[in-house]
Amino acid sequence: ALEEFLTHKNNDKDLAMIKQTGFGMKFHYVIQKEQLGLGHAILQAKELIGNEPFAILLGDDVYYSDIKPALKQIIDLFGQKKSSVLGTMEVPMDQTSKYGICKPKHIDDEGVMELEGVVEKPKINAPSRYAISGRYVLTPTIFKYLETQNQGAQGEIQLTDAILRMMSEEKVYAYNMIGKRYDTGSKIGYLEAIIDYTLRNEELKESFRNLLREKL
């Protein structure tokens, strides 16, 4: 429908961009009828995913990297390890209660962590400062544990709790993704992302700078 609209408007530039970026792929969605947490939401996609590894991207965590997209960094690591990988970032100890926190068993010279535990939003005694940050590549094994996962913190089915149980069966790794993270779940983080991405756009950056100067 979008391609038809752009064709009708003779908008060849945007039409070419859509075709180049692969928007011709098929999209599916499922409805989470009860708000029972991230783990429960992921479980709703079990039939669509089947017996394949899959990625999770949380929309309120946006990453920019000059090196390699954040998700691609952990996909590549998954390809090496053939085990689930969690994308992480370091946070101050006084902010660990806001995140799922990793407990590393071993950290290699490239910063890859083999985990022995994860804790959802620890109020005290966080096992590290490595916070899970909106990017996961998981094996389908996780569904077995999500299906039997009891409600945990905040009365929700926590993905981190299921990942912890899955560690009894297979290894789980984590990696601090390289790049700038934007917390678009906050108003300031959302605005910062818009400003930075606009200033990186060759077509818009000069006029946007002028607009900011006028406003400030």
Task: Give the per-residue pLDDT at 128.
Answer: 97
Choose among 173, 170, 189, 172: nearest CA to 181.
Answer: 189
Q: What pLDDT digit, counting tens, does each position of 74-113 carry?
A: 999 999 999 999 999 999 999 999 999 999 999 999 999 9
What residue ranges of the chain are covered by domains with CATH 3.90.550.10? 38-179
Q: Which fold has domain 38-179?
A: Spore Coat Polysaccharide Biosynthesis Protein SpsA; Chain A (3.90.550)
β-pairing, 61-64 vs 112-120, is: unpaired
Q: What is 58-110 written as a DSSP string?
A: -TTEEEE-SSS-HHHHHHHHHHHH-SEEEEEEE--GGGGGGSEEEEEEEE-TT
Given a contact cutoff of 8 angstroms between Cβ atoms, the answer to whether 97 and 127 are in contact is no
Number of helices and strands in the chain (H, E): 9, 8
| Tokens at 54, concatenated | 């899959």
Q: What pLDDT digit, counting tens, does each position of 150-166 carry?
A: 988 778 999 999 999 99
In whole angstroms, give the CA distance from residue 84 to residue 142: 9
Q: What pLDDT digit, counting tens, does each position of 31-45 carry?
A: 999 999 999 999 999
Q: What is the pTM of this model?
A: 0.86
